[in-house]
Amino acid sequence: MNSRFLMSLLNHLPVLPEVLLLIGACVLLIVDLRVKESKGRAASYYLAQGVLLACAVATLGILLLGGGRQYYLFSGMFVSDAMGSILKLAAYAAVSVALVYSRSYMSDRGLLKGEYLTLLLFALLGMMIMMSANSLLTIYLGLELLSLCLYAMVALNRDSAVSTEAAMKYFVLGALASGLLLYGMSMIYGATGSLTITEIAGRIAGSQAEGGARALLVFGLVFVVAGLAFKLGVVPFHMWIPDVYHGAPTAVTLVIGTAPKLAAFAMAIRLLANGLLDLAGDWQQMLAILAVLSMAIGNLSAIAQTNIKRMLAYSTIAHMGFMLLGLMSGVVGGNSLNAPEAWSAAMFYTIVYVLMSLGAFGMLLYLSRAGVECESLDDFKGLNRRSPWYAFVMLVMMFSLAGIPPTAGFYAKLAVLSAAVAAGQIGLAVVAVLLSLVGAFYYLRIVKLMYFDEPRDAAPVEGHAEMQGLLSINGVAVLALGVFPQWLMGLCLAAILAL
């Protein structure tokens, strides 16, 4: 009996990070009720960081011990592989950094409570389930867990009418997108008779879905892509992004704009590349339209913004369009030989985008004070005179988002464009380059304000040492990844090849 129980535990070892996170989130919720206000927030904060560290150690151990092999659990509904593990590690890092950046901001506004920390950990659990999902049902469960937590986090500041309005918009549109996605999944199930992604792929490849079933598959694919597009925030499903980014507390905006993008990428790979690869000719056309519209509308709309959170929201739309360009370049005329390079470039782009967004929104939090929000472009005027080093960190982030060498953003865009050209999508690559030049304007405008305008406030910028150190590391990391991108690119390529 004991040996059988031990064997069962060993067989379920790949799900250890999710179990640790679930237990940690529940313990955090209970601990936060029992501690005093002054000490409790510090205790809850460090407990949350400890849970993230434990999950990272467990995930790294599984990745190294597994050697990149795939392990299926729970009747094939859950898969543990290299891509999922690497994305989980990136998500842990993003959430941990977000906690450090947001600690002072949330504390000043009385929002650093157990609810915020617990919702953040449960949102991360939803992301992890999406990253390891091998079933349509598992993907949907992870997506709903993530979405419900984010809706609540946006409305965390109950005294703010703007936050409440943003949460309502997010909830209504998110519910609509979830309905579209679920409807598309039900059609795919009806056409293939399976919810498991690997079985769906096998039945489509085995020509078990022909005639009317094939038409039902393509019809379902349209709804699935629409649901994916909403979660990524690409045109024409982008309506929620500017309002939610603007209305949510900046710390919550930081969370929404970073780690969930990793989960959305994993969801796209699992559904489109793993499950519906034989329908690539259909979803490639849809992704091409979404990519071009997102890059165009995102970059052009950002130019007109005076609120930096809305500007970064439209910037997100444009960057997700770039990521879709890499995703759609994997299959050429039914041949998937270009897939590893294209999909690894898209994965690299997503991770780098998360790193850049952490730095950009981190600077907004760094410049915010109790009762003062850093939201206007004018808040960056003369920052070089007040804090030269952090003006340089923001400059690095803006250069990287614009794709200017030698930053990580330049290499990420180069990798995606190279994949597009290799796939024969030369026209799309040219359009992407032209729209990137348009986008460079509003990033360089921030640099101009920091270095050439008079400051609105002559006082030097002060902040917590923990946040200052991490912001500095963030800026250096963006530069270092631009100069030495090979190790991360190699990890992404190995992860995609293991699929």
Q: CB under 8 Å, gap of 24 or more: what pairs does 23-26 form?
A: 24/48, 24/50, 24/51, 24/54, 24/55, 24/121, 25/51, 25/118, 25/121, 25/122, 25/125
Q: Which of 328, 276, 343 is nearest to 494 (CA)?
A: 343
The answer to whether the bond into 406 is cis (omega within 30° of 0) is yes
Q: Report pLDDT for 150.
A: 93
d(CA 41, CA 293): 44
How many residues would you count in the chain?
Answer: 499
User: Strand ranges (DSSP E) for 90-247?
Assistant: none
Q: What kind and span of H or E run contains 73? A: strand 71-73
Local structure of residue 78 (DSSP, 8 states): E
112: which 2 tokens? 């650093």
Q: How many CA atoms lie within 13 A of 128 on its CB side?
A: 28
Q: Which of 127, 234, 151, 137 is nearest to 182 (CA)?
A: 137
Report residue 131: phi and psi, to 5°.
-70, -25
Q: Report pLDDT for 1.
A: 47
Q: Please name the amino acid found at residue 447.
A: V
Q: Report pLDDT for 15.
A: 87
**What's the distance, CA 321 to chain centroid?**
13
Q: Report pLDDT for 194.
A: 85
pLDDT tens per residue across all 499 residues of the chain: 466 655 555 567 888 899 999 999 999 988 888 776 655 478 888 899 999 999 999 999 888 887 777 888 888 888 888 888 999 999 999 999 999 998 888 888 877 888 889 999 999 999 999 999 999 999 999 999 999 999 999 988 888 888 899 899 999 998 999 999 999 999 988 888 888 888 888 888 765 545 567 788 888 889 999 988 988 888 888 888 999 998 888 899 999 999 999 999 999 999 888 888 888 888 888 888 999 999 999 999 999 888 899 999 999 999 999 999 988 888 877 677 778 888 999 999 999 999 999 999 999 988 887 667 788 888 888 888 888 888 899 999 999 999 898 899 999 999 999 988 988 888 888 999 999 998 899 999 999 998 888 877 766 777 777 888 899 999 999 999 989 989 889 998 988 888 7
DSSP-assigned beta bridge partners for residue 73 = 78
d(CA 116, CA 44): 10
Question: Where are the chain's structural domains?
Answer: 2-497
Local structure of residue 269 (DSSP, 8 states): I
pTM over 0.95: no
Q: Report pLDDT for 217.
A: 87
Q: Which of 270, 263, 322, 27 is nearest to 123 (CA)?
A: 263
